[in-house]
Each structure stands twice: as structure tokens, then as C-alpha cells.
Chains A and B, each alone.
Chain A
Amino acid sequence: MKKGKLILFTTLLVSLAMPLTSCDSSSELTIVQFEQSILGDSQKDLSVSIGVEKDSVLTDDLNSVLAEITTDTRNTIMTQATERSTSLEQIQGDDSDKVLTEAPYDETKQDLIIGMEANYAPFNWTETSPTSYTYPLFDKTGEYADGYDVQIAKMCADELGYNLIIKKFTWDALIPALNTGEINMIIAGMTDTEERRLSIDFTDPYYTSELVLIVSANSDLANMTDLSELSGKKVVSQIQTVTDDVIEDILVPDYGAIHESALKTFASCATAVQTGVADAMTAEYPVAVSIVSGTSY
């Protein structure tokens, strides 16, 4: 009796595990670029800004710091961040003095608490160990934030003379966190939109990018020449993002795409495209580069 049960149980387990071995979760993805003019008015929306509380005194100070960062510097920081985020091996950086295992704290300075997802490479992501680029996440043991946003946050705190504190929140909790005073500002690759301006304010943009599509490399869409090929295809993006609004406002009415219900993270969207749940996803160019090389291993 017992032996029979054991055999039955093992067979069941093996038959359950079988599909896993053949599961192809590493199907390659590719980027499809297109003429940005189709975006019309929303084209200007593809830049990211720092979110601050309504009528914040910080806005002017931040704008003056951001104005000093040239487009070249921005592009360099983004290129380096993308390089680090797409490498399987951790890139340490040369400057070992800058490796922070704990956030520096100066009694005489005020705190500047910044919220981000730390899950949106190359804007912001999480590392397991500190490098000269990372900054320790508040109240998270062994979690260090890196990315374009982190470098911008460091510059702002340094220039304005604050203690930098970075807190990790899920995307849809960022604005509530800002409104309730949990954080002082959002640097999370967030775009300045009318709807968000109802509850928070934004600074000037600190990075401007381009909207692209990510599709499976072996699908018909990989060699897409015209957006009308999206007709009848399922397109997905992260919940409450501008890239998701683009699907609803432009790709569905103008090109007949089907709007898949939005997911929690961009990583989930990438998995959706890899597994065929969706045919394409929308993303900002740097994020797309991260996703495509990240999923190629």
C-alpha cells in the first residue's frame, strides 16, 4: 500500500516537472523603433521629472540643479547605467572610496527622503552588494539602489546640502507616500502628466527618451515596418504609466491594437511578451535596452 502510494506520488511529481524542462522562458526579445511623431501631443510626455509635494519649496532649487546637468552628462550617466544594469556580472566601478555600505548621516543637515521602485532598470534597480555607484536603501538589509535616478538623487542632495535617504516603494504606492509625507520627492522615472499634477507637482524634466515597442525576436512583429501591423495584436505595459496610456490613447484607436490589462512591473510585462501572453509591450528606450539584453541570457 505504502509503496504504491510512493510510486503514484513520484510519477505525479515527475509528470508535473516534465513541462518545466522543456519550458522555453528565455525566448529572445527585440526592440522595434518607430517615428515618434505618431505620438502627437503626448510626445512631450516621454520625459521624466522629479515629483514633489504640491507647492513645494524644493521645486526651484531642484530645477536649478537639474539645469546645470547638460544633455551630454545625462546621456553619459544613462549609457553607463544601462551598461551596469545589463551586465550579469556586477560592475564595481573604480572609485572604492565611494562604496557606501551605510547611508552617510550628518546631524547638521536636513533629510531629503526620495522614493523609487528600485525595480525599473536602468532608471533604478536593486543590487545585492554595494559598488561605487550604489546607495543603500533605507531599512533594507543588503539592498542597494543603483541607476540613473540614483545618480540624479545623489547630485541633488549633494548640491542642495541634504542627507540623502532612499526608500523603496511599489509604483502605485509612490504618490500616496509623497502625499502622506513618507517621502519628500519621487525620482523614479516618472513622467509629468495632467492627472498626476492633480495630487503632486513636478520639476523640469531630467531625462527625455523615446517610446519603443518590445516584441519577441522570432515573431512577425520583429520586422515591423508600419504600426498598422499591430492590428489585432495584444500590447501590454506597466499599470499607471505613460507607456500604458499610449496603448489606450493611440495604439488602440489609431492602429487597432488590443490593450492587454496592465501589469504591476515592467519585468512582468517582459515575461508576458516572452511567454506569448502579450505580443508586444511599450517602453521607454533605455528600459527597452535593459529588458532586451537582460532577457537574452
Chain B
Amino acid sequence: MSLFEQIGYLISNYGTYFIQGLLATLVLAIVGTLVGLFLGIFLALLRNIKVVENDSFIRKALKIIGRIFATIHIEVWRGIPMMVQAMLVFFGGAAIGISWSSLGFSSFFNGYMICGLFVITVNTSAYMAEIVRSGMNGVEEGQMEAARSLGMTYMQTVWNVIIPQALKNSLPTIGNEFIVNIKDSSVLNVIGLTELYASVSAATNRNYFQIAGYIIVALIYLVLTLCTSLLIRWLSKDKKNGSSNPFSVKHDASAKGEVK
């Protein structure tokens, strides 16, 4: 069989494996990125927390503990490869009595999937925390001062003024994290999760058409990541033109002379 015939054979006989793998990869990447972003915002807030002179002793202690927790969480989960984390969480968890397989509630959201979702979410939250934090640091301090002098509390300012701008500024980086998650979810096959990468070994375990199999998944990954980058590019362009930021209004279309 030629390579093209092999690709055809794999698609017609094992197409369902690739589709199931694709679904698993998408769920891992989407849930991991969104929930990770949500957790990351809280971690960024914790890490950015400032101890003020006139705080009570308990308040000060809580703030410091929160900051230390966030710092340790971020450094530990960013500093270890996800493959190692997956092995430690799955088998380490089983060793101390967390039975991942009993946490599964359907054949798709089985124990491996739950564990995989946990690992990718917590791992992403560490990266997201740093992304959101640098986005927050990018917002001028004057805005915080202005909002506070208008009578908004610290938390109100953060939620309504700082975070929305921080998220908008870091949209390309967040999108990048989603692309990274699409690709990196492949390492979760070590705990028995059949995602897109692992679907090749399931599809070729009897016919050994490995090269053909990997060409198929390479193309699927490429389509996924290309679509994501296009989406992100479109989203961030839209946001830029619609914003009231005076620095971002007139610099693209008219300057290049490509007005339609």
C-alpha cells in the first residue's frame, strides 16, 4: 500500500478513534484553558496583594500566607513538566488513596479524563496567573488611584477597571496558551488517556501504518491550531478598534493604506 492508501485505510477503518481523540483533546484544551484562566486570575490577585501599614495583624498574616501560597503554586506547577505531573497526580494520588477511576461518571469523562482535566487545569492556572499578573502590571497605576479617589473599593477597582483591561491586553498570550494546551495535552497519554496523539497507537497497533497515522494527526493538530490563531487574531483586532484607548484607534488600517 502506498502512503496515501494507508492514510485512506486508517481513516475509513479507524476514523472513529481519531474523532474520539480529537474530542478528548478539544475538551482538555478548552476546559483547561478557561478554568485555568479563571483560577489564574485569583492566583494573580493573591500574588499581587499588597500589605498595607494600617492592616490588622490577622489581615497582614492572611495576605502574606496567600501571597506565599500563590508563589509556591505558580513556581511548582510551572517548573515541572506536565508529563511528570500527570504520572505523580495519577499514580501518586492512587498510592495515597485517591481513586481517580471511581471519580469518572461516563465513558467519556472517565477516571483518566478527570485526572487529565485536573492536571491540565492546574498546570494552566500557574501560567495564566503570570500572564494575568503581567497584564495587570501593564495597566497604569494612575487608574487605580483615580478609581479609588472616586470612592470605589480596592476589589471593585480590580474587578471593574484593572482585570478587564489586563485580560484585553493579554488576549494574544491567553490564546497562545490555548494553542499550547491543544498540543501539550498529548503528554497525558502516559496515564492511559486516549487523546489525539494516543489514538494513533490504537489505530496502528495491528497494521503498523505509523507514518500515515502520525501524518493524519499532524494535519488535525495543524488545522486546530491554525483556526485558533485566526480566531485570536480576529478577536484581538476587534477589541482594539472598539476600545476607547487613544493609542490603539488609528494605527492599523489607515496607516497601511489598506482601507476598504
Contact = CB atoms under 8 A, between A and B. Distances in A.
Contact of B3 (A23, A179, A271): A23
Nearest to B112: A139
Closest 5 CB pairs of A and B: A139-B110, A180-B94, A271-B210, A119-B205, A25-B211
A182 interface: yes
Given A119-B205, A173-B192, A268 B1 contact: no
Nearest to B189: A170
Contacts of A88: 9, 207
15 contacts: A21-B4, A23-B3, A88-B9, A88-B207, A119-B205, A120-B205, A139-B101, A140-B194, A168-B194, A169-B192, A170-B189, A177-B91, A267-B205, A270-B210, A275-B211
A125 interface: yes
A173 B86 CA distance: 11
> Most B CB atoms within 10 A — which of A143, A176, A267, A270?
A267
A244 to B, nearest CB: 18
Given A170-B189, A180-B91, A265-B201, A20 B210 contact: no
A234 interface: no
Nearest to B107: A141
Contacts of A138: 101
Interface residues of B, number: 39
A93 interface: no
Number of chain A interface residues as a range: 35 or more
A170 B212 CA distance: 21
Contact of B202 (A143, A181, A268): A143
Interface stretch (B13-21, B63-71, B134-142, B174-182): B13-21
A268 B210 CA distance: 7
Interface stretch (A71-79, A193-201, A220-228, A289-297): A289-297
A128 B16 contact: yes
Nearest to A122: B206
B154 interface: no
Interface in A217-256: none
Interface in A251-290: 265, 267-268, 270-271, 275, 290
A143 B193 CA distance: 13
A126 interface: yes
Given A139-B104, A181-B94, A271-B208, 8 more contacts: A26-B6, A88-B9, A140-B107, A141-B20, A142-B20, A182-B91, A265-B201, A294-B207
A120 B202 CA distance: 11
Given A118-B205, A139-B112, A167 B14 contact: no
Contacts of B1: 26, 297
A176 B206 contact: no
A143 B112 CA distance: 15
B207 A119 contact: no
A241 to B, nearest CB: 16
Contacts of B204: 267
